[in-house]
Amino acid sequence: MDKYNEAIAKFDTAIEDGQVRYNVEKILGEHYAENCTGEVYRFILSCLDLTSLETTDNDATITAFISKVNEFENTYPEINPVAAVCVYPNFVTTVRGMLDVSSVKIASVAGGFPSAQTYSELKTVEAGLALHDGADEIDMVMNVGNFLGGNYQEMCDEISEMKETCHDAKLKVILETGLLPSTSEVMKASVLALYSGADFIKTSTGKTGTGATPEAVYAMALAVREYSRLNGVRVGIKVAGGVRTASEAVKYYTIIKEVLGQEWLTPDLFRIGASSLADSLLSEITGKETRFFG
């Protein structure tokens, strides 16, 4: 058995989709309603990676995007700002030059986003350039083709090389869970990403047909919990891909809280990547329809 399968073997990855669905429904049935509160909405807002990853992005649109982040502090001084903004690497310089809110991190996708289908050398160069320009965090996509084909070594080597490039900057590894055939495979991918140096594991790019699902996040949380138990370190989970409403976000908050515990409810360990979610949360917090960001 190679080291990759040895790593997987330390975890109980033989989880069945039906049992996962039952467990998720039970958690949400018992705990979802208690988390639909103003306090939770405010917390989730502070965990957002506010995202602009469009083909139509340009300096003008990114400037307007960051202007809203800067204005938020004055418009809503009683509400904590988002955790980070996430952009394409060629816009990191623009963001770094404009962003006035010191607590908001700059995240950049890198590594051939969203397909990860490019040369490994280019992936690390792209990440290095983004970091040089001022990125605090890198979001990369694992090579799903290599994972599905059983080529764990090449997939894991790319993640390890990206983490080496990142040094102390956070590396979020996107599993693209909607392309994985089962929650068991989601858990295996989670384990391999964690053992390769991921600081966060992330559901999706938002660029495929299926984004985040509660079942995938549940499986990822199981992997994170066991990894923490075995290694004594905490790693984060980022939910991304199709999370648009406050009610959807609370479902993921509830799963993380019940599977991983209160200690994971911090922006250092829990993120949601979204563009339209912020206004839905603001509407719940303020009690009126709000369109501040969008």
Given 139, 188, 199, 279, the catalytic residue: 139
Which ranges of the chain does DSSP label H, i.e. alpha helix? 3-9, 17-31, 38-46, 59-75, 92-98, 120-133, 144-148, 152-166, 183-195, 214-231, 246-260, 277-286
Whether 139 sits among the annotated catalytic residues: the reply is yes
| Distance of alpha carbon 85 from alpha carbon 3, whole angstroms | 36
How many residues in total does the chain contain?
Answer: 294
Task: Tell me if residue 174 falls in helix, strand or coil.
Answer: strand
Residue 218 in contact with residue 259, Cβ under 8 Å?
yes
Given 202, 251, 257, 279, the catalytic residue: 202
What is each CA distance from 105 to 108, 178, 232, 250, 291, in whole angstroms? 10, 27, 26, 23, 23
| Distance of alpha carbon 214 from alpha carbon 155, whole angstroms | 25
| Distance of alpha carbon 30 from alpha carbon 119, whole angstroms | 47
| Distance of alpha carbon 16 from alpha carbon 12, whole angstroms | 11
Whether 105 sits among the annotated catalytic residues: the reply is no
Residues classed as catalytic: 139, 202, 238
